[in-house]
Structure formats: structure tokens, C-alpha cells
Copies of this chain bind each other. A is one copy, B any other.
Amino acid sequence: MIDPQSILFTDLYQLTMGQVYFREGLAERQVQFDHFFRSYPDYGNHQAGFCVNAGMGWLLDWMETATFGESVLSVLREMRDPVGNLLFSKDYLAYLEEFGSFDRLNIRAIPEGRVVHPNTPLTVVEGPMVAAQLLETALLAMLNYQTLIATRAARIRHAGRSQLMLDFGMRRGHDFGANAGSRAALIGGADFSSNVGMSQYFGIAPRGTHAHSMVQVFLALGMDEIEAFRAYARNYPDQCLLLVDTVDTLNSGVPNAIKVFEELKKKGHKPVGVRLDSGDLAFLSIQTAKMLNTAGFPDVGIALSNNLDELAIWQIITQIQQEASRYGVDADQLVRRLSFGVGTRMITSEGDSSLGGVYKLVAVEDGSDWQPAMKLSDSASKTPNPGKKRVQRLYDHRGNASVDLVSTADESFDVDSDNSVYHPVESSKSRTLKAGDVSRVEDLHCSVFGDGRRLIESEPLELMRERRMSDMERLDPGVLRLVNPHIYHVSLSQPLSQLRADLIAKLRGQRQRR
């Protein structure tokens, strides 16, 4: 089997470029790479206005296991180019063995769970050229995916009005990527996951109900749905959540569940709820609530599943609010008893299946100085911000986050002066933040790796969740909107905007001279 923990979890060109740097005397040259994304996920008929950062904990785990040990070197020693020559020289492989791992990198990053925005460095990697380059593939595969899914989970939780939300996505995950998906969902918005291994990892209880197959077995053996329900209730009297749509939700499933709940109640147990997994979930929720209320179970929960995402949940809740009273059901009370089991559309981020996060070289050490590095691509919007930078979040007088400000490393923001801040792409566009407009300034980066070791241990789930909830509370409601959200301000400081414009002009000039 393949060992995913190996440093061979990488693109070939990281290793071949490394050899060029080694041969040209650049292997130890200090460089800086920035990891950032250029635009929020756009799911087609709805769009994100913020992202939730995730994945660093697992990248740090991987960095500890990924080394140039003998098993890796023995593979590299045998690799050949198309005409049969050895691909890697002995001295380069000796260099990798001694210096190729990640222990001389310094990494600063925005903590997991925090709300993040485009064109701000989420992760900053500094260190020797070869090692910094080698980190790229794993960093992108791990951070982009988890950030994508944590973002989706946050949106879904928000649409579900923070009602209980369960990650059921494991079976639709991308092979073992499902574990990272569950991790990110739990950071971003899911209260629990059906994924047993991942729940164990975080020290929380996994959650689940039962499948249609359990009812089908009883039916195939000539028994009735209620006998399947009774068997489940016997085994799980204190967590009895019954899937009621195998035969017929309103004519069989819910009436049978109510009988079983009455039996449980007589024995002193509190039934948990029913799960609806097909049909018009809003209509069925209302009818189910009505039947449960009439039977004396007004507190029993109603779990919904089946291709849910933020839009589906939003629509279900809207429909309940419009129609419940017509059936004598209190809409708000019904919404408070709902929970949501969310799978495919969360764990694959259906509609936008990748976060376009990139890892770009932004600075190279030159003597005692750093040279900003840029790729002069065709569009100004794709041109990354050069050099070493600082990222600060500015809060307004209400305490809401209003601007993420990217500046050069040695600037500081004075809240008591007027400050001009610049559009991240069009350097001619600026606006002024008046003295007193900004109530608080917060640095977003923390050191996570340095001095040869990780500087943060595996973080508790609760801590990452608290960051997410706290950051989301400090967003304007318009930024949280599911469709066409308000655009959060990401701005450049005057010196950084100037540096960027100068560098573009310089590179364009070089290009014209050739």
C-alpha cells in the first residue's frame, strides 16, 4: 500500500527544482512563500462572503513524519530520466538527507477556525529555498481542502440557525480525504460527525441513526417496520432516533415511531426523535410535528437529511415559517426541534469543489536584504503582493471587523490618525479611514513552526470552534448573506500598494527592453 505520510506525497517538480537550486548554489538561500486564495468559493447560485481557515494542525503532523529516510532515498536513487540517466545526483540526495526536511522552516499562519478573506496571506513560510519549495504540494492539498469544507460547514450552520448539525459526509468524501473533510466540518460548523475515527481523534462522541437497510431486513423476513423500530429501541432506549421513510413516512413510519416512543416512555426513557430522509422535508416536518405534538411528544426532535446544503435548509425553514400555522403547528417551536444531517454537498463542497489557494514566492534573500519576487502574469488581480508582510484586522466602533489590512512587515497602524488604504488590485483606488474609525487593531498571524519544531500542539476542537463563532459574530450580517454577500474590505497599506506598483512597473519595463 502507499504511505500517505511519506515525503513522496509531493509533485515531482518540487524535487527536480530542488536539484536546480542545489546545483546553482541556491539551496540554502532564504526565501518566503505566501499561501493565500484569490476569491471566495462561488457555488453557482450562491456565494461565500468569508472563509473559515482550517488544516494547519494536520499539515504540522505531516511535516513531522515526512523526512528523507532510507525508504524515500532508495526510491529517489533509482529514478531515471527519459534517456535512462539517473535523475538525481548523489550529492543532491546527500543534501536532502541532511537538510531536505522541514525543520529549518519558520511558519506563521492565521489560526484554524478564524474567518479569513482573499488576497491576505493565510500562511507564510520562510526558510531555505529547497525545503520551502518542497512543502508546497502537501500544504496546498491539506490547507485548501479543509478551508473549503470548514467554510461550507459554517454557511450551513448559519442557514440552519445554529440548530444541531451533523456531518454525515464520510461516504461521499474523496477516499481517505473524508477524514480531513470531517475534521474541517467539525471546526467549521458541524456539532458532531458520523465518522467514528475522526470523532475519536477529537475526543467527541460520534453520532448516527440507522439506515433503511435495517428496516428492510425485517421487512424481507416477513416482519413489520415497527418490529425493526422496537429492536432498535431495545438496544438504544436512551438514544432512540428512528428513520421513518423506508415504507411511508406519514402513514407508517411516524405512527410506528410514536407507538415505540410510547413504549419507551412507559419504561422511563426519553425518545430522541425521528429522521426524515426523502420527500418534501418542509411539508413532512410540519405533519410529523403535528402528529408528535398530538401524541404528547412536543419535544421529540425531527432530524432532516437528504442532499441538504445551506440553500436547501434556508428554504425548508422559510417554508415552515410560511405554512406551519396553517396546520396548527408553531413554526418557531418546530424550527427549534430540527436538526440537520449534512453529507455530500458539504464534504465535496458541491458547486465549487476546490479552493483556489496558491503558494507563491514573494521574497528572496539577497545579501543582508530581501528582494520582493513577483510573477508578472497577464491580469493584475493575479499578481501577488510582494515581499514580507503583516496582516491586521481592523475593527470599527461597533466592534465589527471592517477591514483586513495587508501592509509591509515593519509598518504599524495608528488608530489616532487618518489612514489611506488602497484597493488590493487597482492601486489608484484608495479610501481614508478617519482617526477614531478604527476601535481595535489585531495581528492575525501566529508562529506555528520554528526553531526546528512545531510551536503549537494539536489544538482542542472547542478552541477552533470558539474562534469561528467569535469571528462570525463580528461580521456584518451582509457579509454572512448566503446569496450575493456584501464584499468585506481587504486593503493594502500605502507603502505596500506603492511597492506593488513600483515592482509591476519595473518588471513591465524589463519585459519591454527584451
Q: Which residues does A use to contact B, with CB under 8 Å?
A: 1-6, 8-13, 15-17, 19-21, 23-24, 26, 29, 31, 33, 44, 55, 58, 61, 65, 75, 79-83, 85, 129, 133, 136-137, 140-142, 144-146, 168, 170-181, 194-201, 205-217, 219-222, 231-232, 234-236, 238-239, 245-248, 251-252, 255, 272, 278-279, 344, 348-350, 353-354, 356, 360-361, 363-364, 366, 371-378, 507, 510-511, 514
Contact = CB atoms under 8 A, between A and B. Distances in A.
A5 B197 CA distance: 10
Contacts of A219: 373, 507
A235 B232 CA distance: 66
Give the number of copies in the complex. 2
A196 B11 contact: yes
B173 A145 contact: yes
A325 to B, nearest CB: 26
Contacts of A232: 20
A168 B13 CA distance: 10
Contact of A175 (B58, B171, B210): B58
Given A235-B23, A511-B247, A175 B375 contact: no
A44 B45 CA distance: 12
Given A13-B208, A248-B511, A141 B26 contact: no
Given A129-B217, A364-B221, A175 B180 contact: yes
Q: Which of A10, A24, A65, A207 has the most CB of B within 10 A?
A: A24
Contact of A350 (B33, B236, B353): B353
A11 B252 contact: no
Contacts of A13: 194, 208-211
Given A6-B197, A26-B217, A344-B354, A144 B172 contact: yes
B217 A9 contact: no
A23 B198 CA distance: 27
A367 B427 CA distance: 79
Contact of A212 (B10, B65, B375): B375
Nearest to A202: B2
Contacts of A23: 231, 234-235
A180 B171 contact: no
Contacts of A81: 236, 238-239
A181 B174 contact: yes
A171 B140 contact: yes
A175 B176 contact: yes
Instruction: Report the 6 A-B pairs with minimum CB-CB distance, sorted nearest first.
Output: A177-B177, A174-B177, A175-B180, A13-B208, A8-B197, A12-B208
A32 to B, nearest CB: 11
A82 B205 CA distance: 9
A231 B17 CA distance: 10
Contacts of A373: 213, 216-217, 219-220
